[in-house]
Amino acid sequence: TQLLEQSPQFLSIQEGENLTVYCNSSSVFSSLQWYRQEPGEGPVLLVTVVTGGEVKKLKRLTFQFGDARKDSSLHITAAQPGDTGLYLCAGSFNNAGNMLTFGGGTRLMVKP
Amino acid sequence: DTGVSQDPRHKITKRGQNVTFRCDPISEHNRLYWYRQTLGQGPEFLTYFQNEAQLEKSRLLSDRFSAERPKGSFSTLEIQRTEQGDSAMYLCASSLAPGGSYEQYFGPGTRLTVT
């Protein structure tokens, strides 16, 4: 059974601070996605990483995929209240692109 | 809007009743997935279809659950004899595979409450 561990589970910060969220597994991902989910809504895809060592940027969000493709991080610079939400990492452990295994999520609150 | 849609958004039912949810995927996507998410947890995979064929089912999908995608377009998920433990958000996603990026795009979900 492949497991994804996300840390921290909860994060409450002030507007303007930086933060990093981590996603780890003992198994190798073929690809990994990061999603953001707001209460009562479905997850919204932020980014997909595939290549070990890959770094992708989406405005103030920086996503990094570990060299061994077992871990990933999401860094937010100068967080804003609009960044508040549940951040989920989800991995695919084969190349068939079928099921995603999700981490438990990091619930982020950014206070103005 | 050409995203994934789900209906209904909310369903309240009494224990023992049957419920059915519908999912309409992104029109050109051939794969459709069902996930379940309980409060405070990440989504858990239930099953997926490629076109009309159901290719994989999780052990979470008990015999009270059945999913169909008869024409390879929309899908339905039925839960028979609902139990309080079935209360959750049921999420549908779609993707284009093979040949696409396998990225899964989610609908807004159906929130089920069993009383």
Q: Tens of pLDDT along A56-81?
A: 999 999 999 999 999 999 999 999 99
- Residue A92: its H or E element: strand A85-92
Residue A69: left (phi > 0), alpha (psi -120 to 50), or beta?
left
Nearest CA in chain B to A107: B40
Q: Tens of pLDDT along B21-32?
A: 999 999 989 999
Q: Does A91 touch chain B (CB under 8 A)?
A: no
How far lies B38's CA from each of A51, A54, B25, B90, in Å? 31, 32, 22, 9
Please tell me the predicted confidence (pLDDT) of residue A17.
97
Task: Tell if the CB–CB gap between B41 and A48 is shorter than 8 Å.
Answer: no
Please tell me the predicted confidence (pLDDT) of residue A43.
97
Q: How confident is the model at residue A94 (pLDDT cuts 50, 70, 90)?
A: confident
Q: Tens of pLDDT along A5-53?
A: 999 999 999 999 999 999 999 889 888 999 999 999 999 999 999 899 9
Task: Tell if the CB–CB gap between A104 and B42 is shorter than 8 Å.
Answer: yes
For residues B25, B31, B35 and B41, what is the CA-based torsion angle, rounded to 10 degrees? -100
Does residue A96 register a pLDDT over 80? no
* Residue of B36, B61, B106, B110 to mutate when probing chain A, most A C-beta within 10 A: B106
* Residue of A25, A100, A101, A106 to mutate when probing chain B, most B C-beta within 10 A: A100
Q: How confident is the model at residue B99 (pLDDT cuts 50, 70, 90)?
A: low
Q: Smallest CA–CA separation between B107 and chain A, in Å?
A: 6
CB-based contact B83:B15 (threshold 8 Å)? yes
Task: Tell if the CB–CB gap between A102 and B43 is shorter than 8 Å.
Answer: yes
Q: Tens of pLDDT along B34-71?
A: 999 999 899 999 999 999 999 989 988 889 999 999 98
Please tell me the predicted confidence (pLDDT) of residue A2.
62
Of A108, A104, A24, nearest in space to B42 by CA: A104
Residues of A in contact with B48 (CB under 8 A): 98-99
How far lies B115's CA from each of A41, A102, A104, B20, B28, in Å? 22, 28, 26, 16, 38
What is the rounded distance in angstroms from the CA atom of residue A73 to the CA atom of residue B3? 27
Size of interface A-B (CB pairs under 8 A): 66
Chain-wide mean pLDDT for chain B? 93
Nearest to A43 among B101, B102, B106 (CB): B106
Q: How confident is the model at residue A97 (pLDDT cuts 50, 70, 90)?
A: low
Please tell me the predicted confidence (pLDDT) of residue A112.
95
How far lies A42's CA from each of A9, A13, A95, B45, B81, in Å? 19, 24, 24, 14, 26
Mean pLDDT within B76-92? 97
How far lies A23's CA from each of A102, B58, B96, in Å? 10, 23, 25
